[in-house]
Chains A and B, each alone.
Chain A
Amino acid sequence: MAKIIVITSGKGGVGKTTTSASIATGLAKSGHKTVVIDFDVGLRNLDLIMNCERRVVYDFVNVINEEANLNQALIKDKHVEDLFILPASQTRDKDALTQEGVERVLNELKERFEFIICDSPAGIEHGAQMSLYYADEAIIVTNPEVSSVRDSDRILGILQSKSRRAEMGLEPVKEHLLLTRYNPARAETGEMLCVEDVKDILAIKLLGVIPESTTVLSASNQGVPVILNDESDAGAAYRDAVDRLLGNEREHRFLEVEKKGFFKRMFRG
């Protein structure tokens, strides 16, 4: 059975698109046929992060409006096998994503893929609601910061009441917390909410903690999802998260400040 996973947050700019690109790439790299859909109508960006912006011909809305078929709109990823991207439309018509249209496209994708990753736009408006409506699982991307945590809780409320699973009284959407842009040093000194704080407040299962890392910016500069960078701690944290999503046990890493070497400690570097 194909699984639909929404990457959502409520708050903008917390790392949904970064996460969508890396999780989708990681799942495909593990041998699972995966498609990642950009639901951010009017603000297409996943194509840039995945380095296929110059290959976009048709988009999600074209397929919904039957101006193109899926084969014409899906873009095959160049980094890994078994990965396809369905880009967002740049139309300014926010209602272009009709519920029936989204359902039809998702049903068609379910026939061909094991994982369907939905990159949600920010906010709780139509686009965000469409991206989570058909979800089986949700990855709640949260930064260790008050407004992000509060908005994550809002989104959890919407998942629990306005998703298809909730409306139809089916088994609830499975919720995963992904804490991103985490800075262990600042959490340790009490300047920033720590992992346990956020877990306590949101009370959902922790999928992973992605450290704040300069490699994320260089990854998006190059259009190579950070999960493919073997030297990056954020990349390693995303690989662990994908493994956990696939049901494997992985110990959480990068939660504490790296122990400083003797010289660094001497000079308080």
Chain B
Amino acid sequence: MSLLDYFKTKKTNTASIAKERLQIIVAHERTKRDQPDYLPQLQQEILDVIRKYVPIDQDQVQVQLDKNGNCSVLELNVTLPD
């Protein structure tokens, strides 16, 4: 591939890269958007409680609220070290 071709393909691809990145970030932000404001703090406090007993990292506690019609399910995922 010549240098010229390299710049050509690079030029033609940036819009599709932009679209792909946008689709991912927008989808991610939309799921967060529907969550109540207290969720990050709830996650932090749960983390603090677990840490009293087991040393775990920040990302080992996942809290997610899913709406199913007229009820919500709080999903708590804790990964404990072996």
B30 and A189 contact, CB distance less than 8 A: no
Which residues on A sit within 8 Å (CB–CB) of B50? none
Which residues on A sit within 8 Å (CB–CB) of B19? 193, 197, 200-201
B25 and A191 contact, CB distance less than 8 A: no
Which residues on B sit within 8 Å (CB–CB) of A161? 33
**Given A190-B11, A190-B12, CB of A146 within 8 Å of CB of B18:** yes
B 1-46 contacts with A by CB, 8 A? 11-16, 18-19, 21-23, 25-26, 29-30, 33
Say whether chain A's binding surface is mostly helix, strand, loop, or mixed.
helix
Q: Per-residue CB proximity of A160-202 to B under 8 Å, as 1/0?
A: 0100000000000000000000000001011111100100111
Interchain CA distance A202-B13 in the complex, whole Å:
21
Of the A-B pairs whose beta carbons lie under 8 Å apart in the complex, a sample of 9, sorted by A's number, is A146-B21, A149-B26, A154-B29, A161-B33, A190-B12, A190-B13, A190-B15, A193-B18, A202-B26
Residue among B14, B19, B23, B29 having the largest count of chain A Cβ atoms under 10 Å? B19
Which residues on B sit within 8 Å (CB–CB) of A191? 11-12, 14-15
Interchain CA distance A157-B31 in the complex, whole Å:
11
Q: Which residues of B contact A (CB under 8 A)?
A: 11-16, 18-19, 21-23, 25-26, 29-30, 33
A189 and B12 contact, CB distance less than 8 A: yes
CB distance from A118 to the nearest CB of B (A): 23
Interchain CA distance A32-B13 in the complex, whole Å:
45
Interchain CA distance A180-B25 in the complex, whole Å:
22
CB distance from B6 to the nearest CB of A (A): 15
CB distance from A20 to the nearest CB of B (A): 26
Interchain CA distance A112-B47 in the complex, whole Å:
57
A201 and B29 contact, CB distance less than 8 A: no
B22 and A157 contact, CB distance less than 8 A: no
